[in-house]
Amino acid sequence: MKKAINFLLFLLLPWLSMAQQFVANYDEAKVPAYTLPDPLIFNDGTPVTNKKEWEKRRGEIYHIFEKEVFGVVPEWKGSMKSVVVSQRKDALNGLAKRKEVRLELINGNRKIAVMVLIYLPQNSKDAPVFLSYNFDGNHTTTVEPDVLLPDSWVSNNKELGISDNRATEKGRGAAISRWPIKEIVTRGFGVATVYYGDVDPDFNDGFKNGVHEFFDAKRDSSSWGSIATWAWGLSRVMDYLETDKDINAQKVIVMGHSRLGKTSLWAGASDQRFAMTIANNSGSCGAAISRRKFGETVGRINTAFPHWFCDNFKKYNEKEELMPVDQHELLALIAPRPVYVASAAEDLWADPKGEFLSCVYASPVYQLLGLKGFPAKDMPALNTPVMGSIAYHIRPGKHDVTLYDWNCYMDFAALYFKMKK
């Protein structure tokens, strides 16, 4: 017994000591001086002067994010089948059409199912649709009693020690404050949501579960981490949406909160079919400038979540200044399509100022492409959204998604898609 405890301590100590040593900086005066990589300068030092050159430079930046941060997606040799498992015309008391679609990813005799829950306004053909992962199962986003419970890892895995039964009936509607579906549909938008654990369970198991089990490729230091896997999953949902006659696939907005905000940025950068990207409180390695080392740092995120990024990224633990890219360039990769970054005033862990500054520093790329860019140089006051090709707001309160956030996203989308008020 004593031996076993010692062995456990031996395994845990390096992690515990790193976790204990880490003290987040929340003092603006202690933010180090830094120089950001310039998205409009090629790796060889020559400047980018027009749209055509930007396309080439975009490839350089994308490649660095792939190889050094999120990891490279292996070749997919499988196939996907979609099955509509339920359909209602009278959802939300007649306000919406609803369907649940099971996407079956198949590779030989291996198969996983990804469930998509879709709410659309009755007259949906031209409605922009927010595609967004949820954290705990599709049934947590709605109180409707017949939406299916997840049958993936939340319910049948003990790795996270989940004990609150959120994958059961007890979780139904538990996240509705983050999913104002009625308000969204009333304003003429649709919502497609997927439980992210269907695609890849969020724990460090050496990439043996989720869609990873489909890819036989040997892993190396640039192989994809879970964020890239989740982003890939959003592209598979997009493959389906393109086939759904109730949906205009030209108007799909990819939106995510927190780790799933980081995911939406990488999905928006990787798949140009997404018309718009929204990152809610995405923080470290999402929208926030890493070189500021404010709140959560690269070292801290790689220690707490070693499976989110590729192994190469660990080289930059406590050495953010050596990163060949920074997060403003992740936003720039989304150009010319619009992108919205949002912060919460009490969410210092996510570095609101760093999230704002990324918008400022990504703006020259949009401007080079003849677009408005980001029309602010100073942080706006609370609840005062700034909207150009890049949009930003900071609201009071905690790390969360609120109706206020959604209303801003809908305002921005309504502007971009020229919807009537």
| 284 in contact with ligand GTR (CB under 6 A) | yes
Q: What are the angstrom distances between the C-alpha of 294 and each of 157, 178, 305, 350, 352?
A: 34, 26, 18, 8, 9
Asked if residue 254 lies in contact with residue 191, where contact means CB atoms within 8 angstroms, the answer is no
Which residues inside 207-246 make contact with ligand GTR, applying CB under 6 A?
A: none
351 binds ligand GTR (CB under 6 A): no
H-state helical runs in 124-208: 153-156, 181-186
Does residue 283 bind ligand GTR (CB under 6 A)? yes
Enter the tokens of residue 362: 């990504």
399 is catalytic: yes
Across the beta sheet with 129-134, the strand order is: 79-90, 96-107, 110-121, 190-195, 129-134, 252-257, 276-280, 339-344, 390-395, 386-387
Neighbours of 62 (CB within 10 A): 16
The least CB distance from residue 23 to ligand GTR, in Å, is 15
Q: Cβ 226 to ligand GTR, closest distance in Å?
A: 11
The active-site residue, picked from 155, 222, 235, 399, is: 399
CB of 1 to ligand GTR, least distance (A): 33
Question: For residue 381, what are the contacts with CB-CB under 8 A and spacing of at least 6?
Answer: none
- Work out how close the CB of 133 gets to ligand GTR at its nearest, in angstroms, rounded to a whole number: 11
258 is catalytic: yes
Q: Are strands 190-195 and 129-134 parallel, antiparallel or unpaired?
A: parallel
Of the candidates 185, 217, 207, the one whose C-alpha atom is nearest the C-alpha of residue 95 is 185
Q: How far is the CB of 283 from ligand GTR (least distance, A)?
A: 5
- Residues 253-282 contacting ligand GTR, CB under 6 A: 258-259
Nearer to ligand GTR, 340 or 366 (CB): 340
Report the amino acid identity of residue 110.
R
Of 201, 274, 212, nearest in space to 74 by CA: 212
Binding mask 356-385 for ligand GTR (x = CB under 6 A): ------------------------------
Q: List Cα–Cα distances, 138 to 57, 132, 169, 403, in angstroms.
A: 39, 11, 12, 18
- Of 48 and 301, nearer to ligand GTR (C-beta) is 301
Which one, of 394, 1, 417, 397, lies nearest residue 177 by Cα? 397
Q: Which is nearer to ligand GTR, 190 or 295 (CB)?
A: 295
> Considering beta carbons, is residue 175 or 301 the nearer one to ligand GTR?
301
Size of the site for ligand GTR (CB under 6 A): 6
Binding of ligand GTR by 166 (CB under 6 A): no
Q: Which residue type is seen at 27?
A: D
Pick between residue 297 and residue 389 the one whose CB is nearest to ligand GTR. 297
Q: How far is the CB of 261 from ligand GTR (least distance, A)?
A: 8
> Closest approach of Cβ 308 to ligand GTR, in Å?
8
Supply the DSSP string of 188-238, one letter for each residue: T-EEEEEEGGGTS-SS-SSS-SGGGGG--SPP-TTB--HHHHHHHHHHHHH
> Of 258, 282, 363, 389, which one is the catalytic site residue?
258
- Asked if 352 touches ligand GTR (CB under 6 A), the answer is no
Dihedral of CA 219/222/227/229: which sign? Answer: negative
Nearest residue (CB) to ligand GTR, 267 versus 335: 267
Peptide bond into 336 cis (omega under 30): yes
Residue 284 or 402 with smaller CB distance to ligand GTR: 284
Distance in angstroms (rounded) separating the CA atoms of residues 374 and 253: 19
Q: How far is the CB of 257 from ligand GTR (least distance, A)?
A: 7
Radius of gyration of the chain (CA): 21
Task: Give the footprint of ligand GTR on residues 38-77 (CB under 6 A).
Answer: none
Binding letters toward ligand GTR, positions 294-333, x by CB under 6 A: --x----x--------------------------------
Specify the residue, 283 or 373, whose C-beta has the smaller distance to ligand GTR: 283
3-class SS string, 21-74: HCCCCCCHHHCCCCCCCCCCECCCCCECCCHHHHHHHHHHHHHHHHHHHHCECC
Q: Which residues bind ligand GTR (CB under 6 A)?
A: 258-259, 283-284, 296, 301
Active site residues: 258, 399
